[in-house]
Structure 1
Amino acid sequence: MALKGTLDGETRRAALLELTDERGSLQLSEAAELWGVHPMTIRRDFELLESSGRVRRVRGGIVPVQIDAFGTRQGRNLRAKERIAAKILPSCPRAARWASTPPRRPTCSPTPCPRPAASPS
């Protein structure tokens, strides 16, 4: 089922983006056949979508760019992050007050933990 070449560029790019989001990827040859346009037209559309940061070019097509907000990443691998924090906690003397109830969201202290003194040579 070809959508024919009657769509204007903006509409075609919006449809390309929507299809890429639905499928997870889109091949250049498939898109050209689907819209009934020359592959070079689709290639230019892919370049415009990539330059706008909406997709990433891969061999023969595009994939959607995953927006990975800090808030989302902060909750990933939480147990591993807590184990790492528990291991370094004893090396920071000011952290003793947090040892009993570590905060879920770390807060920055205006004064950093003191560094161990260098041994005299």
Structure 2
Amino acid sequence: MLMADRHRRIVELVEREGSVRVSELSELFQVTEETIRRDLDKLESEGKVLRTHGGAVRNEEPGLEIPVSEREIERIEQKRKIAEKAMEWIEVGDQIMLDASTTAWQMAKILPDIPLTVVTNSVKVVMELAGKDNIQVISVGGNLAVRSLSFVGPLAERSLDSYHVGKLFMSCGGCHLEYGISETTEEQARVKAKMIANSDELILLVDSSKFQKRAFTKIAPVRVADMLITDAEADPGIVEQIEALSVSVHRVE
């Protein structure tokens, strides 16, 4: 393969996956890791990727969230089906947390008006639940992250320490078998880590496009999840490996 073709394919991989590792590219293209490092250095100098320790990521501002207006229309049918499946684990009297993901917002839209307590950092979840009289809504304070319409920062983290719930329904920016669960910003990752620490059960809501992706900041290993709900397009091999971590996986059709 010519160097120009290899560079083109590397850029395509970075754009599609969000990040790549030197070792993976070396194996894929059957060249030395030193050659791949030179390739990545060249691509960075051309503004096509950003170098990281051990690889490269998309050339965009690190830790920049995708606006909620874009996320809420991405893979919407898969997210709706995942949210509908998650309803099977909602019971009268539950105390739950919902993160600021668009999948959790889909859950809020279809939550029945039954006695529940919902703790969230999402403005959209709060607004969705505002008209349901039987649901007690607790919104954590903090700095407003405009792109995600959510509260983050030290105040949000301290607020979450005031509550302990039975179930956390949460999505993420990436779900990678080795790297773990990750988010696009450090602020969101820290809030979600607090949510995990203050919940008995973590139920991950992850559409298949998130599998084997590494977002900017790691939250926790995949094995911390008790359950993962995904869509029918999920790679069976990845599902099997997640189940081997003692995580119960449910695929929706």
Superposition TM-score, scaled by structure 2 size: 0.25
- Matching residue within 21, 26, 29 for 1:27: 21
1:51 equivalent to 2:120? Answer no
Matched AA of 2:24: E
After TM superposition, list the pairs within 5 Å mapping 1:103-114 onto structure 2: none
Aligned equivalent of 1:10: 4
Aligned equivalent of 1:39: 33
Please state whether the residue corresponding to 1:26 is helix, strand or coil. Answer: strand
Q: Which has the higher strand share?
A: 2
Question: Following the alignment from structure 1 to structure 2, what is the Cα–Cα distance between the partners of residues 66 and 51?
Answer: 14
Runs (4+) of structure 1 exceeding 2 A deviation are none
Structure 2 unmatched ranges of 5 or more: 62-66, 68-144, 148-253
Aligned equivalent of 2:206: none
> Alpha-carbon deviations, 1:36-64, whole Å to 9, x = none?
00111111100000001111111100001
Q: Which has the higher helix share?
A: 1
Please state whether the residue corresponding to 1:66 is helix, strand or coil. Answer: coil
Aligned equivalent of 1:62: 56
Q: Which has the higher contact order (CA 8 A, sep 6+)?
A: 1
Paired-residue identity, %:
37
Question: Following the alignment from structure 2 to structure 1, what is the Cα–Cα distance between the partners of residues 8 and 2?
Answer: 10
Aligned equivalent of 2:210: none
Please state whether the residue corresponding to 1:46 is helix, strand or coil. Answer: helix
Matched AA of 2:50: R
> Alpha-carbon deviations, 1:45-87, whole Å to 9, x = none?
00000001111111100001127xxxxx9xx939xxxxxxxxx
> Alpha-carbon deviations, 1:62-117, whole Å to 9, x = none?
001127xxxxx9xx939xxxxxxxxxxxxxxxxxxxxxxxxxxxxxxxxxxxxxxx
Please state whether the residue corresponding to 2:8 is helix, strand or coil. Answer: helix
Larger Rg: 1
Aligned equivalent of 1:77: 146
Matched AA of 1:29: S
Please state whether the residue corresponding to 2:16 is helix, strand or coil. Answer: helix
Matched AA of 1:45: D
Question: Following the alignment from structure 1 to structure 2, what is the Cα–Cα distance between the partners of residues 54 and 61?
Answer: 13
Matched AA of 1:12: R
Aligned-CA RMSD value: 2.5
Superposition TM-score, scaled by structure 1 size: 0.50
Matched AA of 2:146: N
Question: Following the alignment from structure 1 to structure 2, what is the Cα–Cα distance between the partners of residues 44 and 77?
Answer: 38
